Amino acid sequence: MSSILVLGGAGYIGSHTVYELIDAGENVVIVDNLLTGFREAVHPKAKFYEGDIRDRAFMDSVFKKEDIDGVIHFAASSQVGESMKDPLKYYSNNLCGTEVLLESMVAHNIDKIVFSSTAATYGEPESIPILETDRTLPTNCYGETKLSMEKMFKWTSKAHNLRFVSLRYFNACGAHPNGMIGEAHNPETHLIPLILQVPNNQRAYISVFGNDYDTKDGTCVRDYIHVNDLAQAHILAMMYLRNGGESNIFNLGNGVGFTVKEVIETARQVTGHAIPAKEEERRAGDPSTLIASSDKAKSILGWNPKYADLETIIDTAWKWHKGHPNGYQTV
């Protein structure tokens, strides 16, 4: 039986996708260089190769040894702030890595790839909710490299026997309900894990940047998607390509959005902790509202998020962080 190759399968979203694939009866091969991924996040039933997608000989060896049916691509640097300070790292890892990957895929006649993209490809939205047809004008290097990767898939697919699906989304959050894997970033920049550091006695308070936005309570509105729902979308995209679907781009979101204050208040209810919040100045470049429309993914891929309510999302995250205050590190 052939396998699905998950690049970055030891990372946050990648590891959850591997768990869901294996639960669905798929054979899975993982490639990860463990720069930001964790060996402990690798599913015991997956075949694991430690290596870098920029290494052509390494990628060729994986495609030679394994019978790969399709690729799901999470292997990328993904910190917006870091991308602005070290853009060449992002071009090397994200763009050069993908170019080497595609060379190897073409050489070995691998014709299906699902790409974990980002809604940062849009930049400042012209309208809400964001549609797949909206203008793409990234405001940071991370979003720019992801958009460039999408263009690379597009032109490669026209020249070679290759079809791709690109999935654009904002804030992945939550953790696997089994409590075995979850979010572990260093440094942590995502709102929900930062909030949960307060009841975990790792932070005295949570900062709220700006309270005068044009939203219902003055704080920024963001789209949050449970990581297992994201995993399912990547799997459905692979099924779509297996069934002969043409190259396509889909947004993933809950279509509603929650304010920063709503997220904090829900975390208070879930954890039973007061979670003090401190209001601070706006951060430069923070749009007031970012919500993506998922209508296209729902109608074409049949995507139906199961963990759409904020309480469930935070509950799974809290279960993970409470049991793993230092992520995958045991000390």
Give me the residue spans of the domains in the chain.
3-173+225-252, 191-222+255-323
Predicted confidence (pLDDT) at residue 226 exceeds the cutoff of 50: yes
Query: Residue for token digits 């917006």?
Result: 80
At 198, is the secondary structure helix, strand, or coil?
coil
State the helix-helix crossing angle for 227-242 and 12-23, rounded to 10 degrees: 60
As a whole-number percent, the residues of the chain with pLDDT over 70 amount to 99
Question: Over 90: is that where the pLDDT of 64 sits?
Answer: yes
Quick check: helix, strand or coil at residue 287? coil
Tokens matching residue 107: 């050489």
pLDDT of residue 186 exceeding 80? no
- Distance, CA of 62 to CA of 105 (rounded, Å): 11
Query: What is the rounded CA–CA span in Å between residue 116 and residue 288?
Result: 24
User: Does 331 have pLDDT greater than 60?
Assistant: no
224-227-228-233 Cα dihedral, nearest 10 degrees: 80
Interval 70-118: pLDDT, tens:
999 999 988 877 888 999 999 998 999 999 999 999 999 999 999 999 9
Instruction: Write down the residue that tokens 């203008």 correspond to.
Output: 135
pLDDT reported for residue 266 = 97
Measure the CA–CA gap between 72 and 99, rounded to whole angstroms: 15
pTM (2 decimals)?
A: 0.95
Greatest CA span in the chain, whole angstroms? Answer: 57
Q: Please tell me the CATH code under which domain 3-173+225-252 is placed.
A: 3.40.50.720
Does the annotation mark 142 as catalytic?
yes
What's the whole-number mean pLDDT along residues 201-208?
95
- Choosing from 142, 213, 240, 307, the catalytic residue is 142
CATH code for the part of the protein at 191-222+255-323: 3.90.25.10
State residue 24's pLDDT score. Answer: 97
